[in-house]
Amino acid sequence: MPELPEVETLCRQLNSLVVGRKIKKAQVLDARLGNIEGLNDRRIGAVQRHGKMLEFLLDDGSRLWIHLRMSGRLLWDTDGEQPSHLRWYVSFSDGRLLFLDPRRFGTVSRQKETVCTRAGLDALVRCGASQLHAMSTARTLPVKSFLISQQWVAGLGNIYVCEILHRAGISPWRRAGELTSADWGKIMSATRSILMHAICCRGTTVSDWRDLHGNSGEYQNHLAVYKRAGQPCLQCGDIVRRERLHGVGTYFCPNCQQ
């Protein structure tokens, strides 16, 4: 599933490609997306990201929201082919923006309000340690579940939360409400540095992530624990473990993370 660095990669690539351009035609190919009308001849003013969602600002004041969810992909196409799993596209004078989605959980919708009114605080630009400390007070769920839920923090998924908690030295099973302000400070520091590095690497390709031009990311070469079960921890040499937490494979170092 694309997380914040992958969606931010798309956002940056879209800003350099489609901003200022007029949509010639928009076409829904999968009825499950519903009607997305009134896009023809609209000009795109900007593309922005909140958490894992993309928002296109259109010249009539409306907004187009795209959420890739499990398997959604955006691809820039200049040869007019019809790839498999194509659910929606918009065409411009010199190319098309394709929305591919094998599992069909992704959504595209036209809205009046900004996407920033939805979901929690963006993990990269709006979130701070003191806010997390306040929001987590008295919450008994594990810190990993708190960070992934999108209700309080938007943008993080399994890969980056595993990496962040390892960098911060905090066990994924610690109760969110028991963490100190110093713990949250370590988590936010790790969050910023890992997300910025992953964005520079255009995301993590451990399965099907590709950027707007079909290229793999490179952050998979920098992962400390994710998908490294049975291998030595890069910090202490102890063996990285994988256990399920709320049904999700969770990677951690039992020595570094307390």
Residues 6 or more apart whose Cβ sits within 8 Å of residue 233: 224, 225, 239, 240, 253, 255, 256
Question: Which of 194, 137, 141, 203 minimizes the C-alpha distance to 165?
Answer: 194
141 binds Zn ion (CB under 5 A): no
For the CB of residue 223, give the shortest distance to Zn ion in the complex, in Å. Answer: 14
- CB contact at 8 A, 135 and 104: no
Q: Is 55 exposed, middle or buried (0-12, 13-18, 19+ CB in 10 A)?
A: buried
- CB contact at 8 A, 206 and 220: yes
For the CB of residue 257, give the shortest distance to Zn ion in the complex, in Å. Answer: 7
The window from 47-55, 88-96, 103-111, 231-239 that contacts Zn ion (CB under 5 A) reads 231-239
27 binds Zn ion (CB under 5 A): no
Size of the site for Zn ion (CB under 5 A): 7
236 binds Zn ion (CB under 5 A): yes
Please identify the residue of the shown chain whose CB is closest to the bound Zn ion: 233
235 binds Zn ion (CB under 5 A): yes
Residue 250 C-beta-side C-alpha neighbours within 13 Å: 23
Which of 108, 147, 165, 233 contacts Zn ion by CB under 5 A?
Answer: 233
The window from 27-35, 148-156, 214-222, 234-242 that contacts Zn ion (CB under 5 A) reads 234-242
The contact set with Zn ion (CB under 5 A) reads 233, 235-236, 238, 253, 255-256
